[in-house]
Structure formats: structure tokens, C-alpha cells
Structure 1
Amino acid sequence: MSQETLAEFVEVAATKFGVPGVAVGVWADGREMYACHGVTSVDNPQPVDQDTLFVLGSVTKPFTATALMRLVAQGRVDLDAPVRRYVPELVLPDERAAAEITVLQLLNHTAGLDWRMGVETGEGDDALAAYVAKMADLELIAPPGSRASYSQVGYDLAGRIIEKVTGLTYEQAIASLLFEPLGLSHSSFATNDVMTRRFAVGHNLGEDGTLAVARQWKDSRANNPGGGAVSSVVDQLRWARFHLGDGRADDGARMLPTEVLERMKAPTVELRGSTLGDAFGICWFLRDVDGVRTIGHGGSANGQFAELLIVPERNFAVVALSNSGPDGGLAVNQAVVRWALEHYLGVVDQDPEPLPFDDARAREVAGRYENDMMTLEIATDGTGLTVECGIKPEIRAATDTELPPDLPPADLGLLPGEADEYIVTSGGLKGQRGFFARDESGAITGADLAGRLFTRVCR
């Protein structure tokens, strides 16, 4: 597959989905290929190239997990140890849980922590420490180890472990443990560093349907471990090649024992009805696609999306970075990844087909669901199901920061089987999967969407 063919597809896909800029990298047959299209900003346009910096969002999490695994390999951290061994000041409303949560449970999202915390702790070196102190008010969504639920909070706490063990700020530690030895010269957390280079800004659709620049460029410093890295498509492909290798950097320096690197790719907890995959490894989303095992991670920021997918058994990786909200950025990234899998590997990734509409089942699941930051409104008009996802009004009211817009209602379909699974079939969340949770009596108590738990609050 030629680089020209890749570039042609990226241009067509970016145009179709109305994305201002996109950068794509593919590692296949032992060589790198890149395709970039569009501009960094609709207000101040510069051509996107392979060194353009994008906000990675949650694609940052593999950096945090890999850095911790380096500390594990050095004997400085024990995965099975309680987090309090390294962060003794950790306080939660549930004292028993605070004492029991382990490092591994943070890395595979089984600590019982909610998705996010809507708190501001500034941009100083104490941001993570202050964030952890705020966890004293964070109610758990489940007992530690009892279920998987994707958690930004857990990764931010993991970042605090890195600070405590190394004696460095999280950002300094990641630079020392990963960026510098791996030659990731276009990866950073610092706005002052990024602003001296070419970087993409996010875009969201305004009420008039036109794209506008997102004024919050990246998340707060306390969220750096879970979603604050900025990187280029070249660095992300180099990062993918490291995880395809034997634990050595390009210069031959041993970064991780091979068995530790491979352990990150092994299942630690199964997932049910999740877009994220079939299981969590140590951070990685593990998913079988057309009979082939993949590992990867996705990420979102304010008007930016990132996708990294690796196929270890085929020595293959694809990276897609885009600067538009979910109607464009998420859609174009998913289209690129699926196209690359099919055209380079012959692997076809298809969404499951939903069942015909069932009014009784639709009325059973319709209702309002919430987590700490967001709401899901699932509704039926007697002919179909819709889902509307948005940030809580009180969260918007509590900050002066521009937050991403709420998503308009999208179609939702129930999937075959007895697992209460569903799939979003239109709109910005098209292709996202989840399931409904029930209590012992069989009543619907929650909705899981893309690995995040929303508790039912009313019908």
C-alpha cells in the first residue's frame, strides 16, 4: 500500500467529516508512512505536518502506565501493593477502600473510582497533591476490585505515585523515564514549550453549525497523568514501535524487561459490551478484531481526538490525530483506523447490528443516568431510542473555562443476547457501545457507556 494511497484516503475522509486538520501515521512492513491534511486552526491556519503537536487526551495514559512499569521493573513500586504505601495521605469517604486500593487496580480501572472529578487545583507543582487531597470527597462507584470502570481519577492518582516515588514532578518524571531515552522530542506537557512549535487547536461546532476554535486548549495540570500530553504523529508512531519491540530504545538501551512489556498487553480484567475492547491489560485496551488481537488507546480533548492502535502479531501500528469535535474528529480517526486495518492487513472491523425496535424494552431502559461530571438522557417516542450526552449544568456553572458542547440526541439500538448491551448508531458517538446494569431484582440501575458508569437517577 503506497503512501500516496494513504494520503488520498486521509484527504477524502477529512473532507467528508469536515475536519480542519488530521495527521496519520502507519507502521507496516517495517516502514513508516505519514499522511497529513488540512490546517492547525480555522482562525490562524498553518498546514498540518507530521511534526504538528496535538493534545492526546487519554492516549496519555499509556505513558503513565509505562513509566510506573519502569519503576516496577526497578523494584521501586509493587503492583500489588496498596496505593497508600506510596501516597499515605490518600483519604476517601470509604476508609476501608482507601486502605485496599492497589497500584494495579489504578492501572486496569478496577479501583472503584469515578470517571472524573470537577475540581480546579491550579497549575503549580502542587497541582496533583492538591487534587489527591480533594479525593476525600469522592464517593466510590464500586468496591475495589469488583468491576472495571474507566477512570481518569485513577490515572491522576497513579501520577501522584510517580511523583512520590521519584521525587520529581509528574512531568519531569515522564520526561526522564520515557520522553528523553526514547527520543520523543515532540512530546511535552508544558504550554510554554508547545507554543514555540507548530500545534493544532481544537474545534467544536457552534449553534450555527460552523466550526469555532475551542478556547480551552488542554485540561488542567492535575489531569496531566490521565490526559494532558501533547505529541506529534511521528512521536506516537515511535512510541508504538517501542511497544512492538523487546523493551529496548532505538539506541539499544534497555528500558523494560521484555516480559514486563508483554505483561502490559495481557488481559487483567474482562470488559462487557464496551467500545474500549474485550479486556483491559495494564492500561491498554485489548480487542479482537476479525480474529486478530489488537492493543490500543483512544483519547479526547476539547475539540481534539487521538487514536493509537497496535497489532503486535502483525508488527503493525496506526495513529490518527485530528482537531475537531466528535462529529468530525472521532469519526475521521475511526474511519482511518478501520481503513488501515483492512487495506494493510486485510482485517475488517464492523459494528454489530442492533435488534429491531422493541417498545417494552425501550421503556424499561429509558431514563436519566449520571456520573460525577455528565448525564445521559435515554428516551423513546414509541418508535425508537435516543441518547443525549452532556456535561452537568452545575459543572458548567462552576467554571469559567470553556467546556466542550453537549451532544445532540443520537439514535441508540439494543444488541442481541441477554447481556443488555447497546450501540449508538448515529451522531458524534456513533459506534460507541455499552450495557445496562441491573440489581439483584432485575431492575435497571445504571448505564455503562464506553467503559464509564452512569447511575440511574430517574425513569
Structure 2
Amino acid sequence: MKMPRPHFGAVLFAVGSLLAGGAEPVPPTADAAGRAPQIDDVLTRAFPADAPGAAVLVVSRGEVLLRKGYGTANLELGVPVRPEHVFRIGSITKQFTAVAILQLAEAGKLSLEDDVTKYVPEVETHGEKVTLAHLLTHTSGIPSFTDEPAWRAAPREDMSLARELSFIKGKPRKFAPGTGWQYCNTGYRLLGEVIEKVSGQSYAAYVEEKIFRPAGMTHSSYDDPRRMIAGRIPGYSPGPEGRTLNAEFVSMTQPHAAGALLSNVDDLWRWEQALANGKLVRTDLLARAYTEARLADGRRAGYGFGWSVGSIAGRAAVAHGGGIQGFSTYVLRVPDAGLFVAVLCNSNHPKLAPGAAATRIANLVLGRRPDVGVAVPEEVLARIAGVYSIPPNDRFELAVQEGRLVAIRAGGSPVSLAAVSAEEFVVPANDMTYRILARDPEGRVVRVAFQRPFSQEYFADRFAGPLEDPAKPAVVVAAATLASYAGEYELAPNFILTVRQVGDSLTAQGTGQGATNLIAESTTRFRVKQVKAEIEFKTDETGRVTGLVLFQNGQEMPGRRKN
């Protein structure tokens, strides 16, 4: 599903704020087709011929720039990936679930403001009204059953909704509905139940009749390992000592409406065309799916109905990733530029990173942001400069250097910001945005918002103290204990945190990012040097390390150990 736990999932870009970064977009070109050789070169290097690979489709304004397979579809038979091959798409499934709900709303069979208990009375909502819209936008506060160790221990079990809800029975809510955002597979599993009860059909039958057939998606279906499915290829997972293993079996009753569908790149393009043409749902309803939710305090959630909402090269974009045993996937669309990119991988190895590949492709096609470079007087920038605090304990600094505004994280290097206006600044390489929200009577900025694309927004208030607290005495951790923490931890589909022992210390490296040092606060808890974040390692009753929790920006993001 998706993040923070993530078998079956989308991509948790908030996790990526451990380190800022990204490739600088190339200058624009009058002929997007001229980028095809560059795209092919990027993908050839990303997916070696003798390893699991990817099917990729890139379409610009109706023109296919690239449709190609990379790497190997079946390692045991030596069959290469072809673009028509069928993959598990993981949490990209959520787009189809969201549109199914919108179809039923358009037909007058339900309202997006209906309380989920109208359809699933047994779900615990702690006396609060949790609407279908809350479920669609991951703002319900309901815990995700995929975060629970007991669920992770039973991938082969056929599960009913009641069984999945049992994993979170008695668990406290994450937040009051509408006040926070946290990716939740339980929410989309509940939406699947709503679809079945309202339509009188199974989820599989509904999406086949109401979505796949009208859209001409002849290679898409609900996955069933027992059926013969033309073009379906096996998935692979990383094993110990760099080996590749056949993916672990998972009962497809578990992901259900959160991540159980199969498709290929051609069908996903047909899906986008059917939506754009109004064939499946009214365009005004679809516009809501592409609009990021607003939380009670006004923050942007970075997520609509089944789509992450953000920007690439300054242009509005929608996207979603998927991660499930043996597969990792990503689809993005930049509507105004007519750009569509699908990258489907037959491995969930963190180094494949289909989201990073798709974003790199989009940057190659789109070129530089067209809206940056506004001149802002230095005296205006000076009223922005200062240290800002994000509850509970994160900080960053905005400073003026050589006439430009820069952002600085604790222990990090300055990152130059480009002005969109005197009230909005961006990191051109990755579209991270800083917006001015409030000023004091003297005109000095006292509150800003910052947001990484496809991630929720955070508010930060001016802080009177320093960027970094005085250093604490070092905690010495035994080498054997450090060695036990080394490994790969899955915080989100397509986002792995790799912990390595380097001498008498640890480093952590997120997918597609550089390594950062970890500073011991205790024998189990470590501080991330470059940002205000902490990692705590978790063990079972035998003392075996089973996972970690990343604490950042007031969130707790669990990561399951993969090796």
C-alpha cells in the first residue's frame, strides 16, 4: 500500500526532507522529442540488463516520446522486460478507488460527507465524525493496520476487513479528523468496503465493469496469484549479501482497494486519457481529486483523492507511487504541459526508485522553472532572515547571503532560494517552497510555511534562540550494538532508510539521497545530524532489531527492517 509502513504504497516525500537535494532541471527545448535519447540513457543506467527492471512510458502532448522495457522480467528464464508486461501497481490502486467513490457520488448513491460508520459501523472513530472525504485524503486520524507488527507477520493469510480492523482495535487515534495528515491504508480498505456495500458488487467486479472496460484497459485487473494472466511478470526483492530473491507471497485479499490491482504502462495511459475526456467521472468531481486537502489550521496536505498533489519544475502535477512485495511503481502527470510518465518496476529494491526516475524524466522534458528570478530588494529579504521553529523541536534558518535568500538546516550547507515573488521562494532543483504567512507591526516576518512537492505543508514561527542547541556530551554505544542496527528499513514504498556502521558511529541514507551522520542520544536513540530529527531502534522480546521510528516535524514514522 504505502507510507509510513508500506507494502502496497505511495511515496512518502516528507521522509525525503531528511536531506534537501535534487537534480537541476535542464534548459527547455522546443522539441520535447529531442529529449528521448537522454531519457533512454538515464533509464539504461538505472536498470541494468541483467537485473530486475522497469517498463516505462513517456507521453508529451499526445506524442509518445519513449515506450520501452529495461532490465529483466524473469531472471530464471532470462526474459527481458517489455513495455506491454503486466505489473502489480501497489498504491496506484488508490486512484481507481477514489474515482469509484466519485462515480457513486455522481450517481447520488453516497455523499463524500457521509460518516464512514454509516457503511462500516464497526470501525472505531472515537466518537468523531469521520467522512469519506477524510478517508480519501488520509486526514481521518484512523491508525493504519499496515503499521502493526502483528499484521506484518502474516502476509500469507487471507484477511477480511474485520480481521484487518482487529489489528488497530483499541489503538488511539492519530489526530482529530481533519486536523492532521498521515498516510493510512485502513482508510482505503474502508473505502473498498463502502464501494462493495453501495454498489452490490465486489470491488474487483466494480472496477472491471465501471472503470477498466469503459477506459479500454484490457490488461488491468484485480490480482489473483492463482489465475493465468497474460503478460504478468514475477517480482523480486533484495536479499542478504546483495542477492536477489523471488518476492515473498502476499494474499491479495489484504491490500484490496488500497493496493491490489495489476496494470501496464499502456493501460495507465488509457486511464489518464479516459479521465481527461470525462469518460469515467464528471470533470468538476475529478478536479476535487486533483486538489490538495486543507487541514483545520489551513495547512496544505499535499494530497487530494487518491493523488499526491504538488509541482515539478514549477508546474502543477499529480502523482502516486506504489510499493508491494516484489514491485515498486510511480505515475505522474503534469496537466498543463500534457506530460505523462509511468515507471513500473518488478522489484522493490530501494535502489530502483521509480519516483526519482519519473521525476528526473519530467525535469528533462519540462526544463527550468519559468517563474523564478524575480528581483527582491535586500532590505526586504533582511526582514525575512532569522531562525524558525517547527513543533516540536525542528528548526531552520533563512539568511541573506550575497543578495540572495538561503535556507540552512542545522549542520547543513546553505541552499539558495529563488524568488517567485517577495512573498514566495523556492529551491529550483526540487520545488521546495517557502511562503510568507505573517509579519509583525514593523514588517518583520514572524511565520512562514514550507512544503516539499507532494508532501504536507508545515508552519514555522520565528524563534528567538539559536539554530542549534549546545552540544550534549557524547554517548558511547558498543560496537556490537551499532552493528545490530545496520540494515535497511522501509519507511514508505520506494523509500528505504539504509543504516550503516562506520567505525564507532552510524550513518543513515535515504533512497536517492546522501548519507548523514547519526549522533547517539542513548543506546537506542540517535539524532540526525543535519536536521532536527531522531531515530529510535526497536527490538522484539528476544532483543532482535525489528525496525525503527523516525521522529520529525511532530510525526512518528515507523520503518520495518527488511534484512
Segment of structure 1 superposing worse, 50-59 or 185-194? 185-194
Q: Contact between 1:286 and 1:295, CA under 8 Å: does it hold in 2?
A: yes
Residues 346 and 408 of structure 1: CA distance in aligned 2, closer, same or farther (over 3 Å): closer
Deviation (angstroms), 1:141: 1.5
SS at match of 1:150: coil
Greater helix fraction, Structure 1 or Structure 2: 1
Residues 340 and 455 of structure 1: CA distance in aligned 2, closer, same or farther (over 3 Å): closer
CA distance in 2 between counterparts of 1:58 and 1:137 reads 26
Deviations, residues 376-415 of structure 1 (Å, cap 9, x unaligned): xxx99xxxxx9976479xxxxxxxxxx999853169xxxx
CA distance in 2 between counterparts of 1:180 and 1:232 reads 15
Aligned counterpart, 2:363: 342
CA distance in 1 between counterparts of 2:296 and 2:40 reads 35
SS at match of 2:498: coil
Residue 189 of structure 2 aligns with an amino acid whose one-letter code is: D
Aligned counterpart, 2:291: 266
**Residue ranges of structure 2 left out of the alignment (5+ in a row):** 1-32, 370-406, 413-466, 476-480, 502-506, 516-529, 535-548
CA distance in 2 between counterparts of 1:406 and 1:289 reads 22
Q: Contact between 1:233 and 1:320, CA under 8 Å: does it hold in 2?
A: yes
If the length of structure 2 is used for normalisation, what is the TM-score?
0.60
Aligned counterpart, 2:436: none
Residue 265 of structure 1 aligns with an amino acid whose one-letter code is: Y
Q: Mapping of 1:336-415 within 5 angstroms?
A: 336-347=357-368, 355-356=410-411, 360=469, 390=489, 408-409=498-499
Are 1:25 and 2:25 matched, yes or no? no
Residue 111 of structure 1 aligns with an amino acid whose one-letter code is: S
Residues 205 and 336 of structure 1: CA distance in aligned 2, closer, same or farther (over 3 Å): same
Q: Report the count of equivalent residues.
A: 387
**Residue ranges of structure 1 left out of the alignment (5+ in a row):** 249-254, 367-378, 381-385, 393-402, 412-423, 438-444
Aligned counterpart, 2:232: 199
CA distance in 2 between counterparts of 1:347 and 1:224 reads 40
Residue 71 of structure 2 is aligned with which of 34, 38, 49?
38
Greater strand fraction, Structure 1 or Structure 2: 2
CA distance in 2 between counterparts of 1:307 and 1:404 reads 9
Residue 307 of structure 1 aligns with an amino acid whose one-letter code is: Y
Deviation (angstroms), 1:79: 0.4
Q: Contact between 1:150 and 1:452, CA under 8 Å: does it hold in 2?
A: no
Deviation (angstroms), 1:85: 1.7
Deviations, residues 190-223 of structure 1 (Å, cap 9, x unaligned): 325764322232222222212222232x554132
Residues 44 and 425 of structure 1: CA distance in aligned 2, closer, same or farther (over 3 Å): same
Residue 154 of structure 1 is aligned with which of 171, 187, 204?
187
Deviation (angstroms), 1:341: 1.4
Residue 408 of structure 1 aligns with an amino acid whose one-letter code is: T
Q: Which runs of 4+ in 1 moved over 4 A?
A: 2-5, 120-124, 132-135, 352-355, 357-364, 386-389, 403-407, 431-437
Q: Mapping of 1:203-218 within 5 angstroms?
A: 203-216=236-249, 218=250
SS at match of 2:120: coil
Residue 447 of structure 1 is aligned with which of 541, 548, 551?
551
Deviations, residues 397-455 of structure 1 (Å, cap 9, x unaligned): xxxxxx999853169xxxxxxxxxxxx98353638999869xxxxxxx97259x97438
Residue 557 of structure 2 aligns with an amino acid whose one-letter code is: F
CA distance in 2 between counterparts of 1:139 and 1:230 reads 34
Aligned counterpart, 1:312: 335
Are 1:430 and 2:478 matched, yes or no? no
Deviation (angstroms), 1:355: 4.5
Q: Mapping of 1:116-155 within 5 angstroms?
A: 116-117=145-146, 118=148, 119=151, 127-128=160-161, 130-132=163-165, 135-155=168-188
CA distance in 2 between counterparts of 1:194 and 1:215 reads 18
Which structure has the larger Rg? 2
Residue 27 of structure 1 aligns with an amino acid whose one-letter code is: V
SS at match of 2:234: coil
Are 1:296 and 2:319 matched, yes or no? yes
If the length of structure 1 is used for normalisation, what is the TM-score?
0.72
Percent identical among aligned pairs is 24
SS at match of 2:509: coil
Residues 320 and 182 of structure 1: CA distance in aligned 2, closer, same or farther (over 3 Å): same
Residue 230 of structure 1 is aligned with which of 256, 262, 266?
262
Please provide the CA RMSD for this pair: 4.1
SS at match of 1:77: coil
Residues 79 and 11 of structure 1: CA distance in aligned 2, closer, same or farther (over 3 Å): same
Deviation (angstroms), 1:313: 1.1
SS at match of 2:258: helix
Q: Contact between 2:44 and 2:70, CA under 8 Å: does it hold in 1?
A: yes
Are 1:59 and 2:92 matched, yes or no? yes
